[in-house]
Structures are given as C-alpha cells and as structure tokens.
Amino acid sequence: MAEQPQHLRADYRHFQPITTRWHDNDIYGHVNNVTYYSFFDSAMNIYLIEKGGLDIHGGEVIGFVVSSACDYFAPIAYPEIIEVGLRVAKLGNSSVQYELAIFRLGEAQACAAGKMVHVFVERASNRPVPIPTSLRLALEALR
C-alpha cells in the first residue's frame, strides 16, 4: 500500500476555526464525510467575504464551485473545534483552485485534505468573468 501524502499545518497560509455541531456526527460517531465539504466551502467563503470583499447577496460577481475532492486520514467528531487550512494552488483569469485541510487544534498533520475550484461568474448571466481586483489580491495572498 502506498504511503499517504503528508498534509502539514505549516504548508497552509490561512486558518479558519470551525466548531463541529451535534448533527455533524453520523451513526458511526464521527463527522460524516459530506460535512467536510461544508467546512471547506465555509472557510473559502468566509475568507473571500472578509479579505476580498465578496458580496454574496448583492454583488455582480459570485463564485460557483465546479469541482471538489477530499481524502480522509483520521476522524473528527462533535464536540471539537477544528481549523480549516486554506491555500491557493492555481489562480487563473476567472477561476481558482484551493487546497484545504482539516486540522485538530494544535496538531500538525491534517485529518482530511481536499481541493475545490471556484469559477467566478457574472450573477446576471452565470457566465465566467475575470476575478475582480479585490478578490484577486486576497487570493494571491494565499499562494
């Protein structure tokens, strides 16, 4: 069996704390796999709203997730405070590929690691547009 790649805290540029919730656990007593995507999506959007000025309610440009993947290494469960590590792997004209990882507080090795791609589109037409300057600057800080 191939050895799992290392996903270390030191490799990520930004961390978003998230508190797991009672309903995140599944029947096996740990956070259900699909919930990790929610954690990733929340971390990306909180960053874009706070650092890049993304207006999710009325802005002319919004981001659509068009691709996602996640690998799981160790379970997390309620109640835990976790941190989502965030970095940018690729930054294009209208798209960005994030690399994200879930960490327990104080732990260097990720419990899960994933990738997501946002394509920025004009809200009215749903057609790709260049990433606005304020968002691009925030994303460049994650490279």
Q: What is the mean pLDDT of residues 12-39?
A: 96
* 76 is a domain residue: yes
Please give the residue range of the domain that contains residue 95: 9-140
Q: What is the mean pLDDT of residues 66-81?
A: 96
Predicted local confidence at residue 52, as pLDDT: 97
Residue 37, beta-bridge partner list: none
What is the C-alpha to C-alpha distance for residues 89 and 116, in angstroms, rounded to an integer? 10
> Which CATH number goes with the domain that contains 39?
3.10.129.10
* 100 is a domain residue: yes
Q: DSSP readout, the chain?
A: -PPPPP-BGGG-SEEEEEE--GGGB-TTSSB-HHHHHHHHHHHHHHHHHHHH---TTT-SEEEEEEEEEEEE-S---SS-EEEEEEEEEEE-SSEEEEEEEEEETT-SB-SEEEEEEEEEEETTT--B-PPPHHHHHHHHTT-
pTM of the entire predicted model: 0.94
* 3 is a domain residue: no
Predicted local confidence at residue 84, as pLDDT: 98
What's the token pair of residue 111?
A: 């419990």
Q: What is the mean pLDDT of residues 78-101?
A: 98
* 111 is a domain residue: yes
The total domain count for the chain is: 1
What is the C-alpha to C-alpha distance for residues 83 and 10, in angstroms, rounded to an integer? 13
> In this model, does residue 33 exceed pLDDT 80?
yes
* 63 is a domain residue: yes
* 40 is a domain residue: yes
What is the C-alpha to C-alpha distance for residues 60 and 80, in angstroms, rounded to an integer? 36
* 80 is a domain residue: yes
Kind of pairing, strands 81-91 and 112-122? Answer: unpaired
Predicted local confidence at residue 5, as pLDDT: 67
